[in-house]
Amino acid sequence: MIIGGGAAGSTAAQFARKQDRDAEITVLERGEYPEYSRCGMPNVLAGDIPKFEDLVEFSTDWFERNRIRLKLSTETTSVDLSAKKVEFRSPEGNGVERFDSLVFATGASPAPLNIEGLAKEGVFQFRGINDSKALQNWCAKKKRNVLIVGAGLVGLEVADALSKMRHRVTVVEYLDQVLPAMIDPDIAEPVAAMAKKASISIITSSFVRSLAGGSAVEAAEIVSRADSSPSKLKCDTVVLAAGQRPSTDLGVKIGCSMGAKGHIRVNSRCETNQPGVFAVGDCAEYLDFVTGEPLAAGLGTLAVKMGEVAGRNSAGGTATLPKGFINSRVTRLFGMEIAAAGPLYSSLAGKGIACVQSRMKGSTLPPYFPGGKDLTVKLVCTDQGQLLACQIIGEKEAAMRVDIVSAIISAGQGAKELTQLDNAYAPSVAPCVDVLAAAAQGILIKIGRK
Amino acid sequence: MIIGGGAAGSTAAQFARKQDRDAEITVLERGEYPEYSRCGMPNVLAGDIPKFEDLVEFSTDWFERNRIRLKLSTETTSVDLSAKKVEFRSPEGNGVERFDSLVFATGASPAPLNIEGLAKEGVFQFRGINDSKALQNWCAKKKRNVLIVGAGLVGLEVADALSKMRHRVTVVEYLDQVLPAMIDPDIAEPVAAMAKKASISIITSSFVRSLAGGSAVEAAEIVSRADSSPSKLKCDTVVLAAGQRPSTDLGVKIGCSMGAKGHIRVNSRCETNQPGVFAVGDCAEYLDFVTGEPLAAGLGTLAVKMGEVAGRNSAGGTATLPKGFINSRVTRLFGMEIAAAGPLYSSLAGKGIACVQSRMKGSTLPPYFPGGKDLTVKLVCTDQGQLLACQIIGEKEAAMRVDIVSAIISAGQGAKELTQLDNAYAPSVAPCVDVLAAAAQGILIKIGRK
């Protein structure tokens, strides 16, 4: 029994089926769509993908072919762990189902915001297809003055998309940098500069106190955190992208052990403290590979990895997660890839971990070959040279380089191994000495190993 | 004292200087150019790089700034190891120089070919700038009928370049596939198909017995190895690209230990059996990381890696190579990246190493995002799942994926770790589940670990 049919839940269903050809597998999904790529929604908004329905990855046909019962528009209302039953409300009425094992894939919902006037017309969430479609339709009517609340991944991706569609976009961020959960301030700076170049206004260290207007939003009151000074911004559209919180009410009720930020804790089998109950994806919390601390990154890749392990184990398998997640991540904004792996430097330093960083500029091609694209690489290592994290910006192949570093981090190796990496080189493809190796050399010099 | 100023020798000079600010460093280079990228020569021929001089990476200025004496057009005629002296012939006359340590960076020269008529006009080597310029000038005069001897890396890169410049190109290869030293037959097949699509004739399992004509070449006699049947091919241009042999006469004379194919053997300090004498680049032989056997791959990346280690050690340093080279390599042919790491499957199987392979097709982007480019990935693992090798073809990001695999191979990890690799995913950048992970899954299934 899988509660939630997003990426994590559907992958769990897929691997439960791979594990056991005869298992009865049911997915209860609150929404009306079968699994689709949430990550692709900004790309539809930007016109890069024709329509939201194209984002469906596990279609209803796929569920049928794999003999997995998918119940859409079905809200799970209670779980009885001793009786091994769930109750749900579906378009066909209420129901009860027995289960042998249970997977929570309940995802997350937008974090509540303390802003007056959120009920006004012109205010949108961007969590699911319906939200996103409503925003798209609204914006199709005329050029909008858009205020986006939150300069995280979703906020900036929506900002980029709407700006491409020639709307006027302002982004307000509570913290003092863009992408605060993804990259360090020194890497965020060029991203903010790109946003400005794309005619997007970024207002950091500020929050939205209220939305003014009649039934529809007409303006926002923005307050600077530095001096509490308010200012007024004219806008007819507001997109709320200030984070999400895990949907875990059912898990809490049955006594699942919960993390500090409200996620369901799982072990390396993706199992909660309740035997036979698993949790995957945005509602779950596992471990950070580098720090060993709890990690709930809310990434599609991790949802799929957890889905595989929980799916197999819920059907009798013995799959395990690695000892932690490296949290590799990337977005494309303003034509650039912004990619990272591992914890932020600031968070490591804040934990008292002795670490050094090295930043290096390079190119995707050797200097003599025309058309190379700039890359900025930042590596973070322990003071012994072990790799902990990296952040890379470039028009292309930034994510691929993060994957290389991710492989090296997960092998417990360091800057030395990165300088020695046997890389494939041809003038029209990649440089002989890559910027990754150059940045790693920088680390070795700093720690006196060179 | 560094004999040879190519990539390996110049890098040795660079790192000798980094190691010791006061060392006296001399590079004796036979040719008339300072270090340039040989790998880029086909790109000049194809018009992607304006001129051959653009390929110079370590300019005479660079040598001056770094207080390294570079003697061009200088042939080293003898080495006296007990007196620690070299003799040379230079444009300014003969000379003698003392040294404390010596680095052989003497490179390689084209392998001799048993073909009648090689002295005719219209026959070219493609080893250095002068050869390549002569070929370019010759081909600039009119559309040529070109015969290329050898379908290795250089042969096919020249074929691709000349075909782009609208010359008619035929390639004759002694072995039964293209790129025989680089990829396995199953991956070579699509490359041969691409060549044909680019209107290049490929004749495998055949050799050129003689060139006919007056003072200039007019035709070639090509013999099939299967039935010894000869055929005649009209051609006015012949490019010899049938491999090279290391230039090691001086090393042999002073008693350097030599490998089976005539390369100078070095240890992990890049030192020969003669103390204080180092060898780097195409003239040297080190170890294959995967098999532990001798490896002389003749790659620019390995020349640079060896140059760094020998350069430092020749100036008093204590640098070491990794335990072996993974031999990562890539070329761009017919618009596609053809990339590989590790030994060929055929060579591993031939050594009796129990290994399995998995081939998988995928894309650079998720299926719902337009513009993804096909990738074909082949992985080779031990029957325990340890990664040994990979070969990848794709329009882009094949080399980057080879680098990821290279990192995993060098960490001694395997298919399991590749399926667990924490990869950076965004719809417009890379898929959630990469083709590398899918191919690794294929291995795990084959060896019964999934």
How far apart are the C-alpha atoms of A390 and A409, rounded to whole Å? 10
Place of tokens 């150059």: A438
| B122 has a pLDDT exceeding 80 | yes
| Cross-chain Cβ contact B397/A397 below 8 Å | yes
How far apart are the C-alpha atoms of A439 and A356, rounded to whole Å? 12
| Cross-chain Cβ contact B404/A399 below 8 Å | no
Contacts of A442 (CB under 8 A, 6+ apart): A358, A359, A360, A379
Main-chain phi, psi angles of B160, to 5 degrees: -60, -45
Nearest to B157 by CA among B53, B56, B239: B239
pLDDT of res. A352: 84
Distance of residue A101 Cα from the nearest chain B Cα, in angstroms = 21
Is B397 at the interface with chain A, CB within 8 A? yes
* B444: confidence class by pLDDT, cuts 50, 70, 90: very high
| B450 has a pLDDT exceeding 80 | no
Nearest CA in chain B to A421: B407
How far apart are the C-alpha atoms of A1 and A432, rounded to whole Å? 52
User: Mean of the pLDDT values across residues A179-204?
Assistant: 97
* B353: confidence class by pLDDT, cuts 50, 70, 90: confident
- If DSSP codes are grouped into helix, strand and coil, which group holds residue A397? coil
pLDDT of res. B349: 85
Main-chain phi, psi angles of B347, to 5 degrees: -70, -35
| Cross-chain Cβ contact A424/B328 below 8 Å | yes
| Cross-chain Cβ contact A55/B325 below 8 Å | no
pLDDT of res. B15: 98
E-strand spans in A225-289? 230-234, 237-240, 244-246, 264-265, 277-279, 284-287
Task: Please give the structure tokens belonging to residue B323.
Answer: 């335990």
Is B404 at the interface with chain A, CB within 8 A? yes
Distance of residue A244 Cα from the nearest chain B Cα, in angstroms = 19
* Angle, helix A398-410 to helix B398-410, in steps of 10 degrees: 10
CB atoms within 10 A of CB B82: 6
Interface test with A, best of B14, B403, B436 (most A CBs within 10 A): B403
A window 128-157, beta carbon within 8 A of B: none
A438 to each of A94, A379, A396, B209, B360, how far by Cα in Å? 62, 10, 18, 48, 33
- Per-residue pLDDT of B370-398, as tens digits, reads 999 999 999 999 999 999 999 999 999 99
| Cross-chain Cβ contact B417/A433 below 8 Å | no
Nearest to A399 among B54, B421, B424 (CB): B424
- If DSSP codes are grouped into helix, strand and coil, which group holds residue A430? strand
- Structure letter (DSSP) for residue A286: E
- Are A31 and A328 in contact by the 8 Å Cβ rule? The answer is no
- Per-residue pLDDT of B56-66, as tens digits, reads 999 999 999 99
Sign of CA dihedral B239, B242, B243, B244: negative
- Are B245 and B72 in contact by the 8 Å Cβ rule? The answer is no
| Strands B123-124 and B108-110, bridge-based pairing | unpaired
Helix locations, B142-206, DSSP H: 153-164, 185-197
pLDDT of res. A418: 97
Mean of pLDDT over chain A: 97
- Structure letter (DSSP) for residue A282: G
Q: Starting from the edge strand earliest in sequence, which strands make up the sheet with A75-80, in order? A: A75-80, A85-90, A93-98
Residues of chain B with Cβ-Cβ distance to A327 below 8 Å are 422
Distance of CA B97 to the CA centre of its chain: 32
- Are A283 and A106 in contact by the 8 Å Cβ rule? The answer is yes
* B119: confidence class by pLDDT, cuts 50, 70, 90: very high
- Per-residue pLDDT of A356-402, as tens digits, reads 999 999 999 999 999 999 999 999 999 999 999 999 999 999 999 99
How far apart are the C-alpha atoms of B276 and B289, rounded to whole Å? 25
**End-to-end Cα separation, chain A, in angstroms:** 56
Exposure string of B52-62, with b = 16+ CB inside 10 Å and e = fewer, is bebbbbbeeeb
Distance of residue A83 Cα from the nearest chain B Cα, in angstroms = 32
A window 27-46, beta carbon within 8 A of B: 37, 39-40, 43
Q: What percent of chain B has pLDDT over 70?
A: 100
How far apart are the C-alpha atoms of A398 and A388, rounded to whole Å? 17
User: Mean of the pLDDT values across residues B297-321?
Assistant: 97
How far apart are the C-alpha atoms of A311 and B292, rounded to whole Å? 40
Task: Please give the structure tokens belonging to residue A81.
Answer: 């762990």
Task: Please give the structure tokens belonging to residue B251.
Answer: 């090393």
pLDDT of res. B26: 98
Distance of residue B234 Cα from the nearest chain A Cα, in angstroms = 32
- Are A148 and A139 in contact by the 8 Å Cβ rule? The answer is no
pLDDT of res. B324: 98
Contacts of A25 (CB under 8 A, 6+ apart): A2, A13, A16, A17, A67, A68, A69, A315
pLDDT of res. B419: 96
Nearest to A192 by CA among B379, B384, A183, B378: A183
Residues of chain A with Cβ-Cβ distance to B401 below 8 Å are 400
- Are B96 and B23 in contact by the 8 Å Cβ rule? The answer is no
Contacts of A445 (CB under 8 A, 6+ apart): none
How far apart are the C-alpha atoms of B304 and B270, rounded to whole Å? 12
Nearest to A424 among B330, B422, B423 (CB): B330
CB atoms within 10 A of CB B115: 18
| Cross-chain Cβ contact B57/A423 below 8 Å | no
Nearest CA in chain B to A400: B400
Residues of A taking part in catalysis: 39
Contacts of A161 (CB under 8 A, 6+ apart): A42, A43, A45, A46
- Are B397 and B364 in contact by the 8 Å Cβ rule? The answer is yes
Is A55 at the interface with chain B, CB within 8 A? yes
Task: Please give the structure tokens belonging to residue A313.
Answer: 């184990």
Q: Which run of H or of E encompasses B382?
A: strand B374-382
Nearest to A329 among B43, B325, B424 (CB): B424
Nearest to B403 among A7, A331, A421 (CB): A421
- Structure letter (DSSP) for residue A263: P
Interface test with B, best of A37, A331, A428, A433 (most B CBs within 10 A): A428
Taking phi over 0 as left and psi of -120 to 50 as alpha, with beta for the rest, A19 belongs to: alpha
CB atoms within 10 A of CB B260: 10
Main-chain phi, psi angles of A297, to 5 degrees: -85, -20
| A298 has a pLDDT exceeding 80 | yes
pLDDT of res. B350: 85
| A450 has a pLDDT exceeding 80 | no
| B52 has a pLDDT exceeding 80 | yes
- Per-residue pLDDT of B258-279, as tens digits, reads 999 999 999 999 999 999 999 9
E-strand spans in B108-172? 108-110, 123-124, 145-149, 168-172
Is B312 at the interface with chain A, CB within 8 A? no
pLDDT of res. B351: 87
- Per-residue pLDDT of A274-296, as tens digits, reads 999 999 999 999 999 999 999 99
E-strand spans in B150-289? 168-172, 200-203, 206-213, 217-224, 230-234, 237-240, 244-246, 264-265, 277-279, 284-287
| B188 has a pLDDT exceeding 90 | yes
How far apart are the C-alpha atoms of B75 and A424, rounded to whole Å? 32
* A407: confidence class by pLDDT, cuts 50, 70, 90: very high
With 0-12 / 13-18 / 19 or more C-beta atoms within 10 angstroms meaning exposed / middle / buried, residue B182 is buried
Residues of chain A with Cβ-Cβ distance to B432 below 8 Å are 7, 37, 39, 300-301, 304
Main-chain phi, psi angles of A255, to 5 degrees: 85, 25
Q: Which run of H or of E encompasses B420?
A: helix B415-420
3-state secondary structure B308-336: HHHHHHHCCCCCCCCCCECCCEEEEECCE
Nearest to A232 by CA among A246, A213, A216: A213
Asked whether the whole model's pTM tops 0.95, one would answer yes
| Cross-chain Cβ contact A49/B7 below 8 Å | no
Active-site residue, B39 included: yes
